[in-house]
């Protein structure tokens, strides 16, 4: 769904307001003194009426300095990253904010997550709010889970039901969780963005970075022992690096005090089932870390 010009402008203005930017300026036109210098006859007229006296050295310095200062010099902002730069910058979750000093008790984590959901509200902080999403897909699972899965973003089924991973990819994820000896209700599941991107495209950096503040709070509240990044998009934004999955898989990373493993997204495994054996190796690494065993087949 294409955004109209007014909707795009409104989305960007509201986004910059969320970043604390309220004033917008338009650069000035050509310097008036430069325009005057280009008018024929003006320079000659000024020279004709100038006194034919020799200035003292101090007066000459003042006059020279004055001629070097534009009469209507535009205001130049200090050098540094702009809000747009900050919105597209790739920063790991470990560097986004300090770890919380207090670990919440298990009994209050559900309420704390609900408070995060209330803060999100009917979010209009990024352009995804105007790109046809039906509802915000917050998360699913246990607020005290030891294991957390993070995907890319909601698809059509998730957008319709308001829960992450409920389509075909979600069914495969459920099977993966069961193979680890767990149930879906034992883990916590979320996404990099909470609104469905149009046509299931990859989230833009401004969208992912805008939404990251809420995912970070979710991770800090749940405090999982292990986080599993499902696919390259989740790995990119959680770790703050853009590398291939082959370079990130098979070893441990860190994320908000938890160990982080990278594996294939279930949607990719549906397209290429040959990689399921590789994904199982990643899950076995997680199981060994957490002391999990696959269920006994009857």
Among candidate residues 261, 128, 137, the one with its CA nearest the CA of residue 190: 137
Average of per-residue pLDDT across 242-255: 97
Instruction: Compute and round to an integer the Cα radius of gyration of the chain.
Output: 28
Residue 48: per-residue pLDDT: 43
Q: Is the pLDDT of residue 298 over 50?
A: yes
d(Cα 139, Cα 163) in Å, to the nearest integer? 6
In whole angstroms, how far apart are CA 144 and each of 57, 87, 134, 141, 223? 79, 31, 28, 9, 7
Residue 114: per-residue pLDDT: 98
Average of per-residue pLDDT across 181-196: 98
Structure tokens at 129: 């709010």
**Which residues are bridge partners to 149 per DSSP?**
189, 228
CA atoms lying within 13 Å on the CB side of residue 237: 27
Q: Does the global pTM surpass 0.85?
A: no
Size of the chain in residues: 298
Structure tokens at 39: 């008018």
d(Cα 125, Cα 71) in Å, to the nearest integer? 40
pLDDT in tens, 68-115: 544 544 555 444 455 566 567 899 999 999 999 999 999 999 999 999
pLDDT in tens, 35-76: 444 444 444 443 443 444 434 454 554 445 445 544 544 555
Structure tokens at 223: 């405090």
The interaxial angle of helices 168-179 and 276-290, nearest 10 deg, is 50
């Amino acid at each position: 769904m294409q955004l109209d010009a007014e909707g795009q402008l409104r989305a960007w203005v509201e986004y910059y307001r969320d970043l604390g930017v309220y004033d917008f300026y338009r650069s000035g036109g050509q310097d008036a003194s430069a325009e005057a210098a280009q008018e024929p006859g003006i320079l000659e007229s000024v020279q004709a009426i100038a006194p034919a006296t020799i200035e003292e050295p101090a007066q000459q310095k003042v006059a020279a300095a004055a001629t070097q200062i534009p009469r209507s010099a535009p205001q130049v902002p200090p050098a540094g990253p702009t809000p747009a730069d900050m919105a597209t910058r790739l920063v790991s979750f470990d560097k986004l904010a300090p770890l919380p000093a207090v670990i919440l008790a298990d009994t209050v984590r559900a309420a704390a997550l609900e408070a995060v959901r209330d803060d999100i509200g009917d979010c209009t902080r990024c352009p995804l709010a105007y790109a046809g999403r039906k509802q915000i897909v917050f998360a699913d699972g246990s607020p005290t889970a030891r294991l957390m899965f993070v995907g890319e973003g909601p698809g059509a089924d998730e957008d319709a039901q308001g829960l992450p991973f409920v389509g075909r990819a979600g069914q495969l994820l459920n099977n993966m969780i069961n193979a680890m000896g767990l149930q879906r209700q034992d883990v916590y599941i979320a996404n990099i963005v909470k609104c469905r991107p149009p046509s299931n495209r990859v989230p833009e950096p401004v969208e992912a970075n805008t939404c990251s503040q809420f995912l970070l709070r979710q991770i800090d509240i749940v405090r999982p022992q292990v986080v599993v990044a499902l696919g390259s998009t989740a790995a990119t934004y959680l770790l703050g690096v853009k590398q291939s999955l082959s370079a990130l898989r098979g070893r441990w990373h860190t994320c908000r005090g938890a160990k982080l493993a990278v594996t294939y997204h279930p949607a990719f495994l549906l397209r290429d089932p040959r990689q399921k054996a590789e994904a199982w190796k990643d899950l076995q690494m997680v199981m060994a870390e957490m002391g999990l065993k696959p269920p006994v087949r009857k």
